[in-house]
Amino acid sequence: MNYKAVLLDLDDTLIASNKVYDKALKYSADFLAEKYSLDSEEFYELAREKYSLISHNFPTVHTRHSRILLFRLALDETAKNYDIGVLPVVEDIYWDYFLQNVKVFPEVKETLKKIKEEGVLTAVVSDGDLSLRIRKVQSAGLLKYIDEVVASEEVIFEKPFSAIFTLALSRLGVDPHEAVMVGNNYKNDIRGAKLVGIKAGVFSPEGGNIQMSDNGVKPDFVMKKFSELLKILSI
């Protein structure tokens, strides 16, 4: 197999996001609880509830990742006459905590460096808004190895809808059969890529966060270590 480009999911493929989301939520919920004299455990639980409500109310669009909306709902319910000026502040607190604490999976940097040296193009293909995608890639120290960052915000609909994949291919100037996709979500990353004719594999490291593996989607390959990507690319 020889490919000209690699499309990479971001969260729980390049960076171990899942582990940090909850801590970031606790950290920012504590900030609000202290500010408005609320019980910190109760407010954190409420914030978790609102997070799941927002995720379910906005399927397939990037609004489902909004943290400002969950803090708004949680404060609406608990803090009378709170200052809405605090909403963007707590959103920044949340993402700053996340960006400072999220870790890159082992072998990712070295592997991407090698891929770049070999002249294979790379694009991060990730659901959410563009600004935060770029900031995540940047604070993970990966921006210098990556050719493109493509966000679902740019095409409205999230993976597995095909627009984000075709936008990534067109930005890199390659055809579907010349690219390979790597992700952690069988439905969104694997099925989504395969629907447009891109070979797709799962990255399943120890302690990883595999999603939607029980829906009958068959990946073209499974990687336990990120460096196995080099073999897939015949590097």
Note the residues at the interface with Mg ion (CB under 5 A). Answer: 9, 11-12, 184
Phi/psi-derived region of residue 199, left when phi > 0, alpha when psi is between -120 and 50, beta in every other case = beta
Output the CA–CA distances (angstroms, integers) from residue 221 to 10, 23, 218, 224, in the order listed.
18, 32, 9, 10
The smaller minimum CB distance to Mg ion, of residues 13 and 111, is found at 13
The smaller minimum CB distance to Mg ion, of residues 12 and 91, is found at 12
Smallest separation, CB 64 to Mg ion (Å)? 14
Contact 76, 54 (CB under 8 A): no
The smaller minimum CB distance to Mg ion, of residues 50 and 65, is found at 65
Smallest separation, CB 121 to Mg ion (Å)? 20
93 CB contacts (<8 Å, ≥6 apart)? Answer: 27, 28, 31
Smallest separation, CB 88 to Mg ion (Å)? 26
Smallest separation, CB 32 to Mg ion (Å)? 28
The smaller minimum CB distance to Mg ion, of residues 5 and 14, is found at 14
Rounded Cα distance, 82 and 220, in Å: 51
Output the CA–CA distances (angstroms, integers) from residue 73 to 40, 79, 93, in the order listed.
16, 10, 17
The smaller minimum CB distance to Mg ion, of residues 38 and 202, is found at 202
Smallest separation, CB 167 to Mg ion (Å)? 18
Question: Furthest-apart CA pair in the chain: how many Å?
Answer: 61
Smallest separation, CB 2 to Mg ion (Å)? 26
Output the CA–CA distances (angstroms, integers) from residue 213 to 27, 143, 186, 204, in the order listed.
31, 29, 5, 11
Q: What is the sign of the dihedral through the CA atoms of 173, 176, 180 and 181?
A: positive
Gyration radius from the chain CA atoms = 19
Contact 126, 151 (CB under 8 A): yes
Smallest separation, CB 92 to Mg ion (Å)? 23
The smaller minimum CB distance to Mg ion, of residues 163 and 235, is found at 163
The smaller minimum CB distance to Mg ion, of residues 75 and 202, is found at 202
Strand partners, 150: 125
What's the full length of the chain, in residues? 235
